[in-house]
Structure 1
Amino acid sequence: MPSNIQALIVDDERYAREELIFLLGRYPYVKIVGEADSGDTAIMQAIRLQPDVVFLDVEMPKMNGMEVAAVLKELKNPPQIVFATAYPQFAADAFRVNAIDYLLKPYEEDQILQTLKRIQVKETPDNGQESFHQLGKLAIERDGEIVYVSISCILYICREDSLTRIVTKTEEYEVKLTLKELETRLTPFSFYRIHKSYLVNLLHVTRLSPWFNGAYQLEIDGSKEKLSVSRNYVKGLRKKLEH
């Protein structure tokens, strides 16, 4: 049985709120605990009701959805955030405030179901680390769309100039997120920083070889590139790999 999800619906348009409430009402494990038509009201409702997730419109007068999300993120028990909007151009900003998903209007039933599955995974840590590796995805904005990349397929991530490059066995993606932001988001997974500019998926490491001045080189299954391991990170890396 899916675990219950308590949801707060925030949109300045009443009909938009009613539509989302209707669609979510198809799932008996989703309970709508409240709704709000402004950013200020949303924050007060979130503090009072303690929902698991806030479905949050982006474009609202006075206080927009991004500003609301930034406040909610600082709460002692922050709810998950799902942005619900007609504007795809806000996707990158949405994931900067750790939104779990980004629903585009008009809503599609399959899209809502996938969102609810992501919420359930985050709400049920007892499933264990393996479940996160099987179900976890990283949302990446590309060409106006949101691409969901399986985290287990990511080989490594590196920072080059003002962009961050995410490398999988089959594709590469460039994002504006910093390495630190991605490192924080990937905390539950098998990623480790080996250099100020590199974050690697330990699941794909095959060889660690001495290089010079106490530094090492790392070989990754599925990549011909050898990655530099700063000597400051070698001890911690070996501890992660050998225990």
Structure 2
Amino acid sequence: MPSSIRALVVDDERYAREELIFLLSRHPRVEIVGEADSGDTAIMQAIRLQPEVVFLDVEMPKMNGIEVAAVLKELKNPPQIVFATAYPQFAADAFRVNAIDYLLKPYEEDQLAQTLNRIKVQDALETTPESSHPLGKLAIEREGEIVYLPISSILYICREGSLTRIVTKTGEHEVKLTLKELETRLSPFSFYRIHKSYLVNLLHVTRLSPWFNGAYQLEIDGYPEKLSVSRNYVKGLRAKLEH
């Protein structure tokens, strides 16, 4: 049996909380472990109850949802965040604190079901991090919208100046996320750092060739350029590829 999704619902409006709790309770895998009507209470409840996901309103007095999410993601075991709000203009801010979804009021049951499925996928990946056929999507911000990239389509990621470039089978995307942030997000998948500025999807590696001074060059299926592998990362990379 799949494990339940422990959920905390946060909204300063009582009827909004009750509506969302009712809709969530109709899904057998969801366990409502608590609710909160303010940001500071939400933080205390999250620490005490250890939910897998927090459904979080954005517009709240004193401490808004974006500020609460920023605190929650620094916890030892941070919950996944789903923003539930009537204000679509906060979507970009929500993405910056690693929210996995953004529900708009009034809630649509189909959209809520899709959100729960996304949580289910992440939960399954966390329990099988060494899966050789990982599933999932990476959320990135582009022109104020959130785009979900199939992780299997990503060839490599590199840091260039103040931006990070994600190279996929079909194109490239520039994001403000750091390489370290992306490395953390992609840790359940087959990605490995080959240089201080490069992160590669090992599923697409086809050849590793000696270069000079202990360094190597790496070839990726369907990509014409060779990538340099720092000698400090060669041993670990070969261990991953040859395991």
What is the TM-score when the length of structure 1 is the normalising length? 0.88
* C-alpha deviation, 1:107, in angstroms: 3.2
Q: How does 1:125-144 map to 2 (within 5 A)?
A: 125-127=126-128, 129-130=130-131, 133-134=134-135, 136-144=136-144
- Distance in 2, Cα, partners of 1:71 & 1:94: 13
Q: Could you tell me which residue of structure 2 aligns to residue 217 of structure 1?
A: 217
What letter is aligned with 2:22? F
Spell out the pairing of 1:40-189 with structure 2 (5 A cutoff): 40-124=40-124, 125-127=126-128, 129-130=130-131, 133-134=134-135, 136-189=136-189
Q: Name the aligned partner's letter for residue 123 of structure 2.
A: E
Give the Cα separation in 2 of the matches to 1:100 and 1:131.
Answer: 23
Alpha-carbon shift at residue 205 of structure 1 (Å):
0.2
Aligned counterparts of 1:26 and 1:156: Cα–Cα separation in 2: 40
Structure 2 equivalent of residue 232 of structure 1 = 232
Query: Which amino acid in the other structure matches residue 130 of structure 1?
Result: S
Aligned to 1:12: 12
Distance 1:132 1:67 in 2: 36
The letter of the residue matching 2:52 is D
Q: Distance in 2 between matches of 1:143 and 1:110?
A: 26
Tell me the alpha carbon deviations over residues 149-168 of structure 1, each in whole angstroms, 9 at most, x when there is no partner: 11111110011111111111
Letter of the structure 2 residue corresponding to residue 187 of structure 1: S
Distance 1:46 1:132, change over 3 A: farther
Letter in 2 for 1:220: I
What is the deviation of 1:6? 2.1
User: Could you report, residue by residue, the CA deviation over 1:149-195 in whole angstroms, capped at 9, with x for unpaired residues?
Assistant: 11111110011111111111012111100001101111111101111
CA distance in 1, matches of 2:122, 2:176: 24
Query: 1:195 maps to what in 2?
Result: 195
Question: Matched residues in 2 for 1:198 and 1:28: separation?
Answer: 42
Q: Is the 8 A contact 2:9 2:55 kept in 1?
A: yes
Q: Please tell me the root mean square deviation across aligned C-alpha atoms, in Å.
A: 2.3
Q: Is contact 1:54–1:79 with CA below 8 Å preserved after alignment?
A: yes
- Aligned-residue identity in percent: 85
In structure 2, the CA distance between the partners of 1:213 and 1:47, relative to structure 1 (3 Å rule), is closer
Offset of residue 92 of structure 1: 4.7
Cα separation, partners in 2 of 1:205 and 1:92, compared to 1, 3 Å: farther
**Structure 2: where are the runs of 5+ without partners?**
none
* Residues 106 and 215 (structure 1), Cα distance of their counterparts in 2 relative to 1, 3 Å cut: farther
- In structure 1, the residue matched to 2:204 is 204
Cα 1:132/1:177, change in 2 over 3 Å: farther
Distance 1:238 1:102 in 2: 40
Query: Shift of residue 99 of structure 1?
Result: 3.0
Question: Residues of 2 paired with 1:97 and 1:39: CA distance?
Answer: 15
AA matched with 2:242: E
User: Which residue is 1:3 aligned to?
Assistant: 3
Cα distance in structure 2, aligned partners of 1:79 and 1:56: 11
Give the CA deviation at 1:104.
3.5
One-letter code of the match for 1:24? L
- The number of aligned residues is 242
In structure 1, runs of 5+ residues without a counterpart are none
Q: Which moved more, 1:94-103 or 1:178-187?
A: 94-103
* Counterpart-to-counterpart distance in 2, 1:113 and 1:131: 27
